[in-house]
Amino acid sequence: KQEVTQIPAALSVPEGENLVLNCSFTDSAIYNLQWFRQDPGKGLTSLLLIQSSQREQTSGRLNASLDKSSGRSTLYIAASQPGDSATYLCAVRDYGQNFVFGPGTRLSVLP
């Protein structure tokens, strides 16, 4: 059974810092991995999608990497801003349509 963990559970950084969020999964047979952002009381916004054949994806200040063999993905946020404060979740999808979410990392970027 696939299990997804995220480290750290919470992170507080000053504005302008570069930071890395980690996502680990136990079964490397994944179809893709997706990173989401969730603001309090809101739905999820998709940030980046990495297919199993890809190593990384970039969007603006965000870069996500995938290492299937080690069961890891990282989300790198460059030059963090207070507006980046949110909970970040990763989710892995298997070759069916089964998604498993991590518990999330709560990020606070202090002005």
Residues in contact with another protein by the rule CB under 8 A: 34, 36, 41-46, 49, 89, 91, 93, 97, 99, 101-104, 106
Nearer to another protein, 18 or 108 (CB): 108
Token pair in block for residue 33: 């991995």
DSSP 9: S
Task: Name which of 79, 81, 90, 86 is nearest 107 in CA terms.
Answer: 86
CB of 52 to another protein, least distance (A): 12
Rounded CA-CA distance 60/81 in Å is 13
Nearer to another protein, 71 or 88 (CB): 88
Amino acid identity, position 24: S
Rounded CA-CA distance 49/36 in Å is 9
Nearer to another protein, 43 or 111 (CB): 43
Nearer to another protein, 65 or 87 (CB): 87
Token pair in block for residue 11: 């992170």
CB of 100 to another protein, least distance (A): 9
CB of 56 to another protein, least distance (A): 17
